[in-house]
Amino acid sequence: MVAKLEAKWEADYEGYFDRDFDHSSRSAKQIARRLSEVKEQTNINPAVIWAVPQDDFLQLMLVTPNNQFVVKKIPGANRDRLSQRISELETAIADPTSLKYLPPARLIYNWLFKPLDPYLKTEQIDTVLLCTGPTLRSLPFSVLHDGEQFVIEKYNIARIPAFSLTDTSYEPKSSHKVLATGASEFEDLPPLPGVEVELNTIVPKLWSGKKIFNQDFTVQNLKQAHQSEGFDIIHVASHSEFLPGTPENSYIQFSDRKLGLDRLTQLQLDLPQVDLLVLSSCETALGNEDAEFGFAGLAMQAGVKSALASLWRISDAGTVVLMSEFYQQLKLTSIKSEALRKAQLNMLQRKVYLEGNEVRGSKIKVNLAPNTSEAELQNFDHPFYWAGFTIIGNPW
């Protein structure tokens, strides 16, 4: 059942990107065995949930390291109702002064997580890989709510295109070399005044590495820097969008040109393979199936092990706060989804906040640019600021 579904989604992604990916479908038993190996290697406890919206119901499948294979049909959550509630959630979450996101967040939680909660609890699962069908691929999973807690308060979360299309290898590293790139000024797009602070916070304040900024931020310069030095993490602070239509419509904006998603392989991020690609200022056409393919397939198309990207753009100040927290947490854990989760929790729990232009609660000194948008905002506990960021691909 799992292998058949995975084979279909492999074909869907290969059709969208118009290329063959190196993969081999696995049975539920083989996936459980790999999860068990990861559990031994990492000390996290991962499970995979497949969620497939149908005309009359939502089909859920769960595989755990202890070889539990669970199948559930949720009759109240057919494709149309799911789509309607997700649309309500995404509209409500865009208003950082409102709590109207909570009713749809609870309802979708009851459909997607609650039927599997007993099995996740039995095995003390702490990391969930979500492999979903259309309409769910751009859902901000971390904001789903059980009535007492957000999902992110219980689990590390990652979304994957298919288990067989995900590089699940684990190589612990005590340190990372980071290439921090981006631009704050553009000819045809709005400025991103917080980018310079964002890059300077990552390199050299938190990590050793190299910076490429503004006019130097070209496709060729990024490619050459990686080929000559072999970075583990490449951070891109620039406009990027996942849009309807073919992959060439979606892009990352460099200083010299837009690089279409179909040409992402030109960066050669697999030579050597990048562990993590971060897109800190991207937007996705929520609810559009093509855009969802591009977003969920980002790591696979880029040839990297994992990606961290946002479903919607937030304020410059919020981005700087989340990214500085994420890179600080990454120094404390080798698990990328755990580092993101802890950064998000620090925002949710108001452990980091803004006072004037200074980030408070952070272990390092971060001063925002005076012209950074919304710099007067005091805290970032609303999910608008943190729920759009997600790990794509390998969560560990």
Average pLDDT, stretch 317-346?
96
242 and 155 share one domain: no
Residues 336, 173: contact at Cβ < 8 Å? no
Residue 86: which of 28, 132, 34, 117 has the closest Cα?
A: 132
The SS3 of residue 192 is coil
End position of a domain, from candidates 123, 144, 165: 165
The boundaries of the domain holding residue 161 are: 2-165
- Split at pLDDT 50, 70, 90, the class of 373 is low
Would residue 90 count as lying in a domain? yes
127 and 268 share one domain: no
Phi, psi of 62 (to 5 degrees): -130, 135
Number of domains in the chain: 2
84 and 221 share one domain: no
pLDDT in tens, 21-37: 987 889 999 999 999 99
pLDDT value of residue 283: 95
The SS3 of residue 217 is coil
Helix 2-17 and helix 28-42, axial crossing angle in degrees, nearest 10: 80
Cα Rg, the chain, nearest whole Å: 20
Residues 305, 269: contact at Cβ < 8 Å? no
User: Which tokens sit at 10?
Assistant: 């492999």
The SS3 of residue 252 is strand
Phi, psi of 379 (to 5 degrees): -145, 170
Would residue 115 count as lying in a domain? yes
Residue-wise DSSP of 205-216: IIS-EEEEEGGG
Q: What is the pTM of this model?
A: 0.96
pLDDT value of residue 369: 65
Phi, psi of 308 (to 5 degrees): -125, 125
